[in-house]
A = this chain, B = another copy of it.
Amino acid sequence: MPDLYLLKKILALTLLLQSQVKVLSRIVLSKSMVAIVGASLTKFGKRSEDIFTLTKESSSPLVRKFREEIDFVLVSNSYSGEFNSISGLNNLVTTYLSLDYVPSLRVDNTSGSGGTSLLVAKSLLDSRVARVVLVIGVEKMSTKGTREVTSVISSLLPPRERSLGISVPSLASIMTKIYMKKYGATRESIAQVAVKNHRNGARNPYAHVRKEVSLEEVLSSPLIAEPLRQYEFCPISDGSASLLLVRDEEAESFTDRPVYLRGIGTASDSSHVSSREDILEMRAVREAGRQAMRQARVDKVDFAELHDMATILEIVEAEALGLLERGKGWAQTWEGITEVDGEMPINTSGGLNSKGHPIGASGVAQAVEAFLQIRGEAGERQVKGARFGLAMSMAGFGNSATVSVFGDEP
């Protein structure tokens, strides 16, 4: 029966090929996802410790447990030269943590460094350069006074805008005025972002400003950039946050509750804020969000961490990401939708506004909050049934943005 013989051979070959396709599919598909298997952070605030001690404080719970496994360290930091007179921070940090033989690099994208570090970590894992990546975000800013810090941070503005005396707070001021005029937003609704975020921050043991503030207190605090007031801006903070990332297929050997990075997108916009067609249209945020949501295969998230360096930004970003309705974000904020128990909780951690904004650490800390929320470990500020969350980490004033979508399953 030669025909049957042939048939058998072909069947065997088919099965072999099928199994090969399965193996290959697994490799190809698994390439696209990584998981956070550990996360920790320091208390943010004016800290007396130096930058090395802060990195150790945030990373040591992970390093202690997984020292032998870590094979790449990313240090998310922008200003160690300016604020700490230190260069080559990544190599000094690995030596300080007794991880001498672990390769490292410093990722810088100003205030968006943390989100960008997640993107680099994912790439290193995908490309098999690394198996276990430790991301440490850190900034020690309180070495300088407010005036000097503002001046250093303004060095991210294009020379033309800088020479006109424009600063990041002044851009927030312009944005607020245009938003209020265009959409008829009330002044109170914008200040409400600070009320909510301070309420959340008061429930976050790691936050810089752990006190609730009333609407009246926000609106009577010192004027910074008309009409925005002191409580509406992030404080100047020191702090560090750490994450351990692996490929999804290995995640469960590190923890029984991994949090998966289901999607990550990044996009850019003109650094000349003045030349953008519409200052309210945060193109980089919108595009990065679209990419991340598509990749994550989810329609809706249960909470979001946004870049609320100034109150107005939380509203405008949430609109750009489709979390709030375009032009109605102010009203929805006023109605309480973005509260921890609202329909779309935003900045449950307290956000940059109350948790603080140590530049290189901020985006990493957003992912830490997502990790805690999805594992149900966010304590008093826990979002009920949180399964999917989003973090948006932004450089400059929307010059670039990275959006990450996290979930409890791959």
A residues within 8 Å of B by Cβ?
3, 6-7, 10-11, 13-14, 17-18, 20-21, 24-25, 27-28, 31-32, 78-79, 81-82, 85-88, 90-92, 94-95, 100-110, 116, 119-120, 122-129, 152-153, 155-156, 158, 266-272, 283, 287, 395-396, 399-400
Contacts and interface: CB of A to CB of B under 8 A. Distances in A.
Chain B CB within 10 Å — which of A13, A18, A108 has the most?
A: A108
B107 A269 contact: no
Nearest to A73: B268
Contact of A81 (B13, B14, B155, B267): B155
Nearest to A95: B271
A279 to B, nearest CB: 15
Contact of A90 (B3, B11, B79, B109): B109
Contacts of A92: 156, 158, 271
A400 B90 CA distance: 10
Contacts of A266: 103, 129
A331 B273 CA distance: 60
Given A81-B81, A88-B395, A270 B95 contact: yes
Contact of A87 (B32, B100, B107, B155): B155
Contact of A400 (B78, B104, B155): B104
A371 to B, nearest CB: 21
Contact of A109 (B24, B88, B127, B270): B88
A110 B92 CA distance: 11
A129 B90 CA distance: 24
A111 to B, nearest CB: 9
Contacts of A86: 155-156
A268 B120 contact: no
A129 to B, nearest CB: 6
Nearest to A14: B14
A36 to B, nearest CB: 17
A268 B91 contact: yes
A267 B103 contact: yes
Chain B CB within 10 Å — which of A78, A91, A270 has the most?
A: A91
Nearest to A276: B100
A268 B101 contact: yes
Chain B CB within 10 Å — which of A81, A156, A269 has the most?
A: A81
For the complex of A and B, 9 pairs with smallest distance between CB atoms: A126-B127, A88-B156, A123-B123, A24-B24, A95-B271, A91-B399, A17-B17, A106-B108, A123-B127
Contacts of A270: 95, 100
Given A17-B17, A81-B155, A123-B127, A105 B108 contact: yes
Contacts of A32: 128
Contacts of A153: 87
A7 B3 contact: yes
B3 A156 contact: no
12 contacts: A3-B3, A7-B7, A28-B28, A86-B155, A87-B153, A101-B267, A102-B268, A103-B266, A103-B267, A103-B268, A107-B108, A123-B127
A295 to B, nearest CB: 10
A55 to B, nearest CB: 14
A129 B38 CA distance: 24
Contacts of A107: 105-108
Given A91-B110, A95-B272, 16 more contacts: A31-B128, A78-B87, A79-B81, A85-B155, A91-B109, A91-B268, A91-B400, A92-B156, A100-B270, A105-B108, A105-B116, A105-B120, A120-B123, A122-B129, A123-B124, A127-B127
